[in-house]
Structure 1
Amino acid sequence: MIRLIQYIDSDNQRRVGIVDTVGGEQIQRLEGAVSVYALAQQAIENSSDLETLVKSLPTRAEEATLSSLLEAKRVLAPVDHPDPAHLYVTGTGLTHTGSADTRDKMHTADSAEIQQSDSMKMFRMGLEGGKPAAGEAGVQPEWFYKGDGSIVVHPEHSFPIPSFSLDASEEPELVGCYLNGPDGTPYRIGYALGNELSDHITERENYLFLAHSKLRVCSFGPELLIGELPENIQGTSRIRRNGEPIWEKAFASGEANMSHTFANLEHHHFKYKLFCRPGDIHLHYFGTATLSFADMRTEAGDQFEISADAFGKPLRNNWEVVQEPDCVTVKTL
């Protein structure tokens, strides 16, 4: 198991590096590699797995440490596409044990209603049929579209939140990163930590506004885990205001804490031919059971921090409001 980063070096050149998992600071630059996308394409072409390919490449020690690159905001999202329009960002919800509770608190008033809510019904469907036998398809999950590559914010950079948003709250999740091969077969490149930021107040107004609430920016990384994912991922989600922690909560992910298998979630995404176009990148957020929204509201300037030991350095982003027009007018041609 290895962890990769994409970054800009002191000569302002794109690089790919292997992170030393012992100290988490030293980086071995992969000579000649400028993107994980290109490396993944090469692995598919060579009928090789990505880890074997990466380990076969010559390396040299990078002078900068990972912490210094993060502080200088030179670390990029760990997977991207040369054309952002060919990168899909999607996700699934109500996939984790306990995830229905937070969602239902947003949409129902008392326990009697909770038992009848669509969220609870969807959650129970996952518990009953989300982990089918290998090679079989189980119940389909809640699914949403979030955007294309233009919405991905690099680690340590600010989230631009449109002025029409009613909320900006984190969602600490695991992200599956995929590349479609020349024949359309999806290949999993690896996993990363992600912040699937959403507008929960808009969603709470009416569940049918869920699609609107998801059309926001997101972030993932800074490190990409290549190889098999541990079944039990334990992490922490924090919010800092003016440099001081104001909220903190543990979260759990991995299949041991989920009502669906990754294979089932992947099947119900890639079963659509639309998502099997050769050369496209897919980032898929797998859901969470932990949200600060259940306890508090965030404010512009707050910093989100999501960490889990298996993924190395934490993912950090703050947020700021970006003024948008009060009304968009379409012109007639």
Structure 2
Amino acid sequence: MRLIQFEDQAGQRRVGVIEGAQVRTLRATSSTRELALAAIRSGHGLVEEVLARGSDAGPDYAGLLQAGRVLPPLDHEDPAHCLVSGTGLTHLGSAATRDKMHQQGEPDEATLTDTMRIFKWGLDGGKPAQGQVGAQPEWFYKGDGSIVVRPGGDLPLPAFAEDAGEEPELVGLYVIGDDGLPHRLGYALGNEFSDHVMERRNYLYLAHSKLRACAFGPELRVGELPAHLQGHSRILRGGQVLWEGEFLSGEGNMCHSLANLEFHHFKYAQFLRPGDVHVHYFGTATLSFADGIKAAPGDTFEIAMDEFGAPLRNGIVACEVPILPGSVARL
């Protein structure tokens, strides 16, 4: 089952089930978060909650996408209660991509050694037996729900940014139940938009490089994933393909299990606040930046995988920095 959130003709939020080219609109449901919390409280799964509510024939899916009325498939009415985070060096080949990216600048053997060390820890211990604690992955914070751009929207590129780099990834979508336990609703395609030029300057700038907008969706895929997933990532400029690359995901192409990555995120008590939403990027091994590509405002990113339905498309738009040096007021 694949779900979307969208705005109807009156601008009201609705939740829909994708059925081919059409959307079936769930009755009396305005958000995926509301739907998930109801399922948790009823003690059953998301699919059962969808079926129990019932649905009616809804709008044409392509028309919704064309009109820009599709929302991210999970959000929170208060963006401060949506945490966006991710893990890196999780996929086979991801360390090689990272090293290639860093080698385009001044070589830093200590940094590259740390990269390969973390990657090897994942290879050796990223898929522990059930109930066991595995190797800890690289982890980063991106922001709260205010940084999420809807499918079809433009990713803002701040004036201080040195790069506008896509990262095609799987995204885990979660709601924290009333009992403080995390519940995975499912997965979506994501573009974990980052600044690779800044990161290349010094690995310790990784935290800065991740503080950018991002996008995921348009669909939430409910249920487990195949072990092998294959998709494509493209950059379009002037309607023509500027760059294209295949990306692989799923546990068969990863050095960490999804369960291990989830454990090392949710082991922190501050991430278990009831009602909160978590959007977690699982990493990638495919970057256009590693091939010397520099995306720019006006370009369009396209990330697609058959198992997730419609592709995720987003443009890039330049934006100003909200404050100037020395503009912080003193009280």
TM-score bracket, shorter-length normalisation:
over 0.9
Q: Could you list the runs of 5+ residues in structure 1 that have no partner in the other structure?
A: none
Which deviates more, 103-112 or 76-85?
103-112
Contact 2:99 2:112 in 1 (8 A): no
- Equivalent positions of 1:174-189 (< 5 A) are 174-189=170-185
- Equivalent positions of 1:128-167 (< 5 A) are 128-167=124-163
- Equivalent positions of 1:183-262 (< 5 A) are 183-262=179-258
1:84 is the counterpart of 2:109: no
1:318 is the counterpart of 2:315: yes
- Give the deviation of 1:51 after TM superposition: 1.1
Q: Which residue of structure 1 lines up, in the alignment, with residue 328 of structure 2?
A: 330
- Give the deviation of 1:16 after TM superposition: 0.4
1:7 is the counterpart of 2:6: yes
Contact 2:194 2:209 in 1 (8 A): yes
Distance 2:54 2:178 in 1: 27
Distance 1:190 1:83 in 2: 21
Contact 1:108 1:117 in 2 (8 A): no
- Give the deviation of 1:321 after TM superposition: 0.7
Aligned residue among 61, 80, 105 for 1:66? 61
Contact 1:81 1:281 in 2 (8 A): yes
Pair 157,328 (structure 1): closer, same or farther in 2 beyond 3 Å:
farther
Percent identity, please. 56
| TM-score normalised per structure 1 | 0.96
Contact 2:76 2:145 in 1 (8 A): yes
Distance 2:60 2:222 in 1: 20
**Structure 1 counterpart SS, 2:248:** strand
**Structure 2 counterpart SS, 1:117:** helix
Contact 2:188 2:217 in 1 (8 A): yes
Distance 2:152 2:326 in 1: 31
1:31 is the counterpart of 2:27: yes
Contact 2:157 2:317 in 1 (8 A): yes
Q: Which residue of structure 2 lines up, in the alignment, with residue 304 of structure 1?
A: 301
**Structure 1 counterpart SS, 2:143:** strand
- Give the deviation of 1:329 after TM superposition: 2.1
Q: Which residue of structure 1 lines up, in the alignment, with residue 15 of structure 2?
A: 16
**Structure 2 counterpart SS, 1:33:** coil
| TM-score normalised per structure 2 | 0.96
Contact 1:108 1:114 in 2 (8 A): no
- Give the deviation of 1:328 after TM superposition: 5.0
Instruction: Kindly provide the CA deviation profile for residues 138-185 of structure 1, in whole angstroms up to 9, marking residues without a partner as x.
Output: 000000000000000000000111100000110000000011111210
1:125 is the counterpart of 2:124: no
Contact 1:240 1:304 in 2 (8 A): yes
- Alpha-carbon RMSD: 1.6
